Amino acid sequence: MDDTSSIKNIAEKATRSVKWSALMEVVSRTASPIILVVLARLLAPSDFGVVATAMIAISFAQMFWDAGLSKALVQTNEAPEEAAHVVFWTNAVLGVLIYLLLFIAAPAIALFFNSPPSGPVLRVLGLQIVIASLSSVQQALFVRDFDFRGLFWIKLLTAFVPGLFSIPLALLGYGVWALVVGSLVGQVLNLYLLWNRSPWRPTFRYDVVLARSLFSFGLWVLLESFGAWLIVWGDNLIVGRFLGVHDLGVYRTGWMLVTIIFGLALNPFLPILYPTFSRLQDDLPALTSAFHRVNRIVFALALPMGTGLLLVGPEAATFLFGQKWEGLGFVLSVLGLMHGIAWLVGINTEIYRAMGRPDMNTKLMFVAVLYYLPAYYIAAQSGLETFTITRLAVAMIAIPIHIYLCVKMLNVSPFYLWHEGKPMIISTMAMAFGVAVLKWVILPLIHVPHVSISLAILLGTGSLTYLSCLCFLDQNFVQQTRAIIKKAAIA
């Protein structure tokens, strides 16, 4: 097969995969907010805070059992069958060892957060480390082969299972344990379905030479994951330590909801981007073209979503969670804007990894940590609102750095975001103006009786304004995007 045919084949596989990846995200992202909202009305913010303290430790431990090898399995072109055995046995052994260390350290971690319930919760919830390590290869092979259809059916079956266990237990008064049991049951079912659907089975063999090659790639991914953990979980760590589990529950719930919202629209691209970019890594023009096309779609979704959350965060929090979640609306607004802007360079990290430069992400992460953590610590002394604003401010510093690296690696214009996103930026500004006038001028005059009606009016007006402006400013982009979606839907 010649290079042109190979590139075409990769593009077709990626297009076909979009539908299943999107459906997978829709199922999980539909289930998650429903379950989250129901549980948030049954449980206290502190219950979510206790689970968050456990997840801080678990997420840290999870980096080390995988050691970046799952990403290496997706990226490598060398003997994938042998590579799969190396990844499986390494992950399985590390998963068990790391869980045992976490089990021993649980009382000390609970003491650090001044939260005695966190110790037992961590010891039980930490079992998901072992469960996940036993399914990592099957998951990576599905991604490598663009088999997102298979992953969709697994996600469909497991999406609502945690809620089927957590909600009844919460109604019966089990508190934080309702969250723990639901999470573990979902992980066990996911393990069973992945093994049942995947034809791959491990045997007792281990290629030491190949392992060295995988570890050389995986090491950078591991270091990158550590930097990402400090950035993604470092804020939770400091909030939990200095502001307590109640504020941690509010902050973490806001973060989860924003992540769910953006994930529903944007995460379908991510599992496909890495294997697609990896297969195009030797053809820079094709890689650059694919990058521009995807980035425009991301831009068109992320910026208006982030701006919209900034404007309607308080109304959304009140409607979904009720009055006991005080402060959640502010967190939703600020973190929503942060995600909307950060996503403008959100796919750049997939480019670095696909081009065989995972070290780029790692170096960026550790540079960021040098100013992230001190800023978090200082801001935490002034309360949750100041901390949340600081989280937005420090995230913005990374934007010009990613732009610079993208310019160097892909040889694109330094102003590529403006060239790609000008219609989206103008349309978002028009949307923001319309929603602001409606929210602060018109709606107060007509005395809307319920927050749900106000929220529906604001969301409907904002969406209509944005889409109308975008169609007027860039009709070709809208038509091309619609054609891609239609092609993916029927593929």
pLDDT tier at 141, thresholds 50, 70, 90: confident
Average pLDDT over residues 462-478: 93
pLDDT tier at 427, thresholds 50, 70, 90: very high
**3-state secondary structure at position 1:** coil
Question: Each residue of 19-40: pLDDT tens digit?
Answer: 555 555 555 556 666 788 889 8
Strand (E) or helix (H) holding 177: helix 176-197
Query: Above 90 in pLDDT, residue 468?
Result: yes
Lowest mean pLDDT among 43-47, 408-412, 455-459: 408-412
Per the model's pLDDT, the better-predicted residue between 95 and 485 turns out to be: 95
Query: Above 50 in pLDDT, residue 210?
Result: yes
The pLDDT value recorded for residue 80 is 67
pLDDT tier at 84, thresholds 50, 70, 90: confident
Per the model's pLDDT, the better-predicted residue between 265 and 307 turns out to be: 307
The pLDDT value recorded for residue 285 is 84
The pLDDT value recorded for residue 87 is 79
Mean pLDDT over all residues of the chain?
A: 83
Q: What is the model's pTM?
A: 0.79
- Spatial CA neighbour of 388 closest among 301, 329, 435, 323: 329
Q: How large is the C-alpha radius of gyration of the chain? A: 23
pLDDT tier at 290, thresholds 50, 70, 90: confident
The pLDDT value recorded for residue 1 is 47
Query: Above 80 in pLDDT, residue 271?
Result: no
User: How far is Cα 147 from Cα 45, in angstroms, rounded to an integer?
Assistant: 38
Query: Above 80 in pLDDT, residue 42?
Result: yes
> Which position has the token pair 């900034």?
310
pLDDT tier at 166, thresholds 50, 70, 90: very high
The pLDDT value recorded for residue 5 is 55
Per the model's pLDDT, the better-predicted residue between 265 and 398 turns out to be: 398
Question: Each residue of 326-376: pLDDT tens digit?
Answer: 899 999 999 999 999 999 998 888 788 777 776 777 788 778 888 888 999
Average pLDDT over residues 54-78: 71
**What DSSP letter does each residue of 273-302 carry, written as one string?**
HHHHHHHTTT-HHHHHHHHHHHHHHHHHHH
Average pLDDT over residues 417-427: 93
pLDDT tier at 313, thresholds 50, 70, 90: very high
Query: Above 80 in pLDDT, residue 235?
Result: yes
Question: Each residue of 245-255: pLDDT tens digit?
Answer: 999 999 999 99
- The two tokens of residue 410 are 């892909």
Query: Above 90 in pLDDT, residue 205?
Result: no
The pLDDT value recorded for residue 77 is 59
Per the model's pLDDT, the better-predicted residue between 405 and 147 turns out to be: 405
- The two tokens of residue 209 are 């030479």
The pLDDT value recorded for residue 289 is 84
Neighbours of 398 (CB within 10 A): 18
**C-alpha dist (Å) from residue 111 to 71, 105, 245, 278, 304:** 34, 10, 12, 44, 42
pLDDT > 70: percent of the chain: 80
Per the model's pLDDT, the better-predicted residue between 469 and 76 turns out to be: 469
Lowest mean pLDDT among 84-98, 203-217, 249-263, 330-344: 203-217
The pLDDT value recorded for residue 71 is 60
Average pLDDT over residues 129-138: 85
Average pLDDT over residues 301-310: 96
**Most confident region among 15-24, 71-80, 443-452 by mean pLDDT:** 443-452
The pLDDT value recorded for residue 224 is 65
Question: Each residue of 174-190: pLDDT tens digit?
Answer: 999 999 999 999 889 98
**What DSSP letter does each residue of 76-137 carry, written as one string?**
--S-HHHHHHHHHHHHHHHHHHHHHHHHHHHHHHHHHTT-TTHHHHHHHHTHHHHHHHTTHH
Lowest mean pLDDT among 4-18, 62-76, 265-279: 4-18
Per the model's pLDDT, the better-predicted residue between 242 and 92 turns out to be: 242
Average pLDDT over residues 227-256: 90
Average pLDDT over residues 221-247: 84
**Do the beta carbons of residue 229 and residue 63 sit within 8 Å?**
yes
Q: At what angle do helices 234-242 and 244-266 cross, to 10 degrees?
A: 160
